[in-house]
Amino acid sequence: MHVMMEQLVSMGFPNSLAAEALKAAGGDIVKATDWILSRSQTTPSPPHRHTADTATALQAPQIHHDNSPSPPPPLSPAAASSNFQPKIDRFFHFRCKTQTPTPATSSKSQLCKEEVQQQQHDHADEDVLDDDDHHLQGGKRPRLSSSPQERDNYASKQQPSSSPVAFPREPLSELMRPSTLDQVVGQEHLLGPNSALRSAIRHSRLPSIVLWGPPGTGKTSIARAIVSSCSDVYRFVPFSAVNSGVKEVRDAVEEARKWKSKNSKIDNNRRMRTVLFIDEVHRFNKAQQDSLLPVIEDGSIVFIGATTENPSFHLITPLLSRCTVLVLNPLKPHHIATLLKRAISDSDKGLSSFSKVQVEDEAIEFLAAHCDGDARVALNKLELSATTAATERFHQKKGRGGGEGSLDSDVLSITVSHVKEAMQSKHIAYDRDGEEHYNLISALHKSMRGSDADASIYWLARMLEGGEQPLYIARRLIRFASEDVGLADPSALTQAVACYQACHFIGMPECNVVLAQCVAYLALAPKSISVYRAIQDAQKVARDSVGQNEGVPLHLRNAPTKLMKEIGYGKGYVYPPDNPKASSQTYMPPSLQGYKFLHWPNAPGAD
């Protein structure tokens, strides 16, 4: 209501009159303006007085003898109906013209189209509107232009210019989803002619499956295409684990049972079933996953789950035992290039359906190589590149005096510079809490163990660019210094601890070179796992009670009290600094005499 008040006041109407009109019109600004103008026509105006005070006085409500204001007059039939006065329609025409069509404003957009058609029949009303403007102007509101060209010029100053190209509201990645399996690009190991999945589809006997793969590899698209390829035997019911729970699943299962029973009565030979697709299924907790077990078991539904996380860690074992896990791989650059070319040339759903588009081959290659196999990223960046190119061309033509009209008729050229502007930075697939986190730290550890300093620094850079905490990496380097370098270079542990302290002191991004120095030092250092193997073997002996976990021999025990000395604690112990040649003293329990855990070249008797 406040916004509509401001609009009426900006037209030159007094505050009190605007408030009264909005109250009488029920909050509709068009009807309120019609109410004001209709009231002004029935109110006599003194000759030769066109000030704001006069207009206010003419519009003020009448006061009765009992000093109570009269109620607002009812709306005129013209205002109460959906067909407003032509002069009011043209008054609001310039406001409607620049609105973006949305579901909420579709009716108003239709009204604006009807207004344009009525303009050629309403020149007589324009003269009346001019007279009304003269009375209501009062030195505050400029006179409305009577010609369509002048109104368009006024609207261009008041409202933002229209979009250079009318791109769709749905993302391009959503519009270009394949409708059949033959349109799916990549994943040949799953969708080949002789694959198990193809055979199941041909015989209309879909198993319950879990699609596991990185984002943008086609999990949802494949699930939809599978069902669409099975004619009308299956019904597709999608859910997202982000905003769904057990209640929604139970409702879907109950509906699936009813649907199956209803169709079996019509045709007993047809087994009508429901495919329940749950995206991001790893977000379901254990209880929510348990609710799926009985309905998968009794065949009420065919379950298809999609996840980006390792099912071994995020899905319960009973659910995995009822499903077949299909692993999707990141798309190759040539797969991405095929999808991009399809999106460019498709005249029904692609960019060509909205504007004539020409994309440089170099731009396609750059985009395909910098999206990490994510088709969604590639298509969305292509759409953003087209928007960037259209905006750039729009302003160039405007600067040459070409006006502000749409440029859809011209060929839209997308270059590699537009793609780079849309990309901003390379997309890096990394999840600090997911599997990729452990994959990269494993690659770093193995590269250092293999003494490949270049590969070690590369994997370190991947982790840092992905947003990994530097202190986590530093802790892993400390472990590596003892596990893989060990006694071959004892100073490696000192280097690693110093690296941790330096990262703690200065943080990112300055500590990146500290981490790189430590990684290079550890990769180039000599390696020895003798200490690592020694502690592993000793712990195994202790766990397995190989030595019966005997007590400490008496001569190795401490004797701080007189009683302990009397019962033999510390008796017979030889102090090595005073007797360096005393080699007969033993330190192992009797049952483990002769056991060797540490195998080091400098140790006596080492192999």
C-alpha torsion 10→15→20→26, nearest 10: 40
Q: Which two tokens stand for residue 6?
A: 């401001």
Average of per-residue pLDDT across 55-81 = 43
403, 164 Cβ separation under 8 angstroms: no
- Residue 442 clears pLDDT 90, i.e. is over it: yes
Residue 425 is predicted with a pLDDT of 66
Q: Which two tokens stand for residue 485?
A: 């370098």
Q: Is residue 554 part of a domain?
A: no
- Gap between the Cα atoms of 53 and 31, Å rounded: 24
Q: Which two tokens stand for residue 181?
A: 């399996």
Q: Is residue 389 part of a domain?
A: no
- Residue 134 clears pLDDT 90, i.e. is over it: no
- Residue 3 clears pLDDT 60, i.e. is over it: yes
- Residue 122 clears pLDDT 50, i.e. is over it: no
Q: Where are the beta strands (DSSP E) in 372-482?
A: 411-414
- Gap between the Cα atoms of 166 and 189, Å rounded: 39
Residue 107 is predicted with a pLDDT of 42
Residue 112 is predicted with a pLDDT of 43
499, 477 Cβ separation under 8 angstroms: yes
Query: What angle (nearest 5°) sits at the alpha carbon of residue 20, between those of residues 15 and 26?
Result: 125
Which of 277, 310, 327 is the endpoint of a domain? 327
Give the range among 88-97, 168-177, 211-220, 588-597 with minimum mean pLDDT.
88-97
Per-residue pLDDT band at 380 (split at 50, 70, 90): very high
Q: Each residue of 236-295: pLDDT tens digit?
A: 899 999 888 888 888 888 888 888 777 765 555 556 788 999 999 999 999 999 989 998
- Residue 71 clears pLDDT 60, i.e. is over it: no
Q: Across the chain, what does the average pLDDT equal?
A: 77
Q: What percent of the chain has pLDDT over 90?
A: 32
- Residue 118 clears pLDDT 70, i.e. is over it: no
- Three-class DSSP category at 236: strand
Which of 268, 297, 327 is the endpoint of a domain? 327
Residue whose pair of structure tokens reads 């840092």 in the numeric block = 464
C-alpha torsion 591→596→598→604, nearest 10: 120
Measure CA of the first residue to CA of the last residue in the chain; give whole Å. Answer: 91
More confidently predicted of 129 and 448: 448
CATH code for the domain of 493: 1.20.272.10
Highest mean pLDDT among 11-20, 44-53, 379-388, 451-460: 451-460
Q: Is residue 470 part of a domain?
A: yes
Residue 7 is predicted with a pLDDT of 76
Average of per-residue pLDDT across 116-138 = 42
Which of 293, 327, 361 is the endpoint of a domain? 327
- Residue 577 clears pLDDT 50, i.e. is over it: yes
Q: Each residue of 5-48: pLDDT tens digit?
A: 777 777 777 878 888 888 787 777 777 887 887 775 555 544 44
237, 252 Cβ separation under 8 angstroms: yes
User: How would you class 511 by CB atoms within 10 Å of its CB: exposed for 0-12, middle for 13-18, buried for 19 or more?
Assistant: buried
What is each CA distance from 557 to 537, 548, 570, 573, 582, in whole angstroms?
24, 18, 5, 9, 18
Say yes or no: 320 and 196 in one domain.
yes
Residue 92 is predicted with a pLDDT of 44
- Residue 75 clears pLDDT 90, i.e. is over it: no
- Residue 127 clears pLDDT 80, i.e. is over it: no
Q: Is residue 286 part of a domain?
A: yes
User: How would you class 248 by CB atoms within 10 Å of its CB: exposed for 0-12, middle for 13-18, buried for 19 or more?
Assistant: middle
Per-residue pLDDT band at 481 (split at 50, 70, 90): very high
Q: Residue 276 is inside which H or E element, if any?
A: strand 273-279
Residue 167 is predicted with a pLDDT of 59
Domain with 450, as residue range(s), is 435-527
Residue 400 is predicted with a pLDDT of 65
Q: Each residue of 349-365: pLDDT tens digit?
A: 888 887 788 899 999 99
Q: Each residue of 288-333: pLDDT tens digit?
A: 999 899 989 988 889 999 999 989 989 999 999 999 999 999 999 9
User: How would you class 290 by CB atoms within 10 Å of its CB: exposed for 0-12, middle for 13-18, buried for 19 or more?
Assistant: middle
More confidently predicted of 427 and 145: 427
Number of domains in the chain: 3
Average of per-residue pLDDT across 206-229 = 92
Q: Each residue of 156-211: pLDDT tens digit?
A: 444 444 455 555 578 888 889 998 888 999 999 999 888 999 888 888 888 999 99
pTM of the model: 0.57
For 336, other C-beta atoms within 10 Å of its C-beta total: 29
In one-letter notation, the amino acid at residue 122 is D
Residue 459 is predicted with a pLDDT of 95
CATH code for the domain of 224: 3.40.50.300
C-alpha torsion 573→578→581→583, nearest 10: 20
Residue 148 CA, distance from chain mean position: 44
Per-residue pLDDT band at 151 (split at 50, 70, 90): very low
Residue 520 is predicted with a pLDDT of 97
Strand order in the sheet with 234-240: 234-240, 273-279, 301-307, 209-212, 324-327
CATH code for the domain of 15: 1.10.8
Q: Is residue 314 part of a domain?
A: yes
542, 534 Cβ separation under 8 angstroms: no
- Residue 465 clears pLDDT 90, i.e. is over it: no
Q: Is residue 273 part of a domain?
A: yes
Q: Residue 259 is inside which H or E element, if any?
A: helix 246-266
Q: Is residue 387 part of a domain?
A: no
Q: Is residue 8 part of a domain?
A: yes
14, 55 Cβ separation under 8 angstroms: yes
Nearest to 241 by CA among 204, 195, 274, 283: 283
Average of per-residue pLDDT across 518-547 = 91
Phi and psi of 325, rounded to 5°?
-90, 120
178, 225 Cβ separation under 8 angstroms: yes
Average of per-residue pLDDT across 98-111 = 41
For 581, other C-beta atoms within 10 Å of its C-beta total: 6
Average of per-residue pLDDT across 222-242 = 86
Q: What percent of the chain has pLDDT over 70?
A: 72
